[in-house]
Amino acid sequence: MAMNVIGQIGWTVAYPGLFYVMVVFTSQAFVFIFLPFILYSLYRFVVQFTYFSWAFRMRRVLQTYPWQLLKSVPSGLGKYPDARDDGMWFEFRNPDNHEEKIPLVFIKHQRSYWWLKRLDGPRTKPHRRTQIEPLWFAGDPRFLAVVAASDRGGEAPKRLHMLYQRAAFDRRCTPEAWGATSVDIEQARRAGAQQLGSTSQPRP
């Protein structure tokens, strides 16, 4: 969260600053040199701004669920069988039934390119895959979660990313069953899930 705030301030200052330098201190001959930097700083400003809401959501998840270190978490780049959405995914075990597998799909692809290069795929380089092994995980795969890679020392998470079931935020989707109790659902609500019913609903 702190780095997101710092980044937002930095790119907010960079865009008008570069524009001011270009207009006031440079001749027309140097406009094309500054223009790419100005456009990129504008792009980063927009990206940082739209990321704020997800940063706050991740903060709520981390206030509700503890971090876990998971090893050998299956992942993929193609569509997961029977998943609602297409896209990259991680596969987790149901907290109440370890025989049941639950996918969490990267529904929002913002800031997901880094993860794209490290999930299991035919072109994934082994040294990149090891960067998310073990995987930091906080949440409940039946609702929402935060995943992260380890820092260089392996003692803290970095590259945090929000994953969630679409039903957690979209009232048009019926929640999966997955054996969630009212206690599980209430905990997910505290973590930020918004559209869950009072009881779990089976898949239509």
Q: For 26-77, write each residue's pLDDT tens digit.
A: 555 555 665 676 666 666 666 666 667 778 899 999 999 999 999 999 999 9
- Report the pLDDT value the prediction gives residue 21, as an integer from 0 to 100: 59
- Residue 92 vs residues 13, 74, 162, 192, 195: alpha-carbon distances, Å: 41, 8, 15, 20, 22
- Report the pLDDT value the prediction gives residue 108, as an integer from 0 to 100: 75
- Report the pLDDT value the prediction gives residue 83, as an integer from 0 to 100: 87
Q: Give helix 182-190 / helix 31-64 axis angle, nearest 10°.
A: 140
Is the model more confident about 33 or about 132?
132
The length of the chain in residues reads 204
Q: Which tokens sit at 69?
A: 């270190």
Q: What angle do CA 178, 90, 52 make, to 5 degrees?
A: 100
Is the model more confident about 2 or about 103?
103
Read off the pLDDT of residues 84-128 as tens digits, 9 standing for 90 and up.
888 999 999 999 999 999 999 998 766 788 999 999 999 999 999
Q: Which tokens sit at 94?
A: 């149901």
Is the model more confident about 193 or about 33?
193
Read off the pLDDT of residues 136-191 as tens digits, 9 standing for 90 and up.
999 999 999 999 999 988 889 999 999 999 989 888 887 787 889 999 999 999 99
The enclosing H or E element of 90 equals strand 89-94
Number of Cβ within a 10 Å radius of residue 113: 8
Strand partners, 70: 135
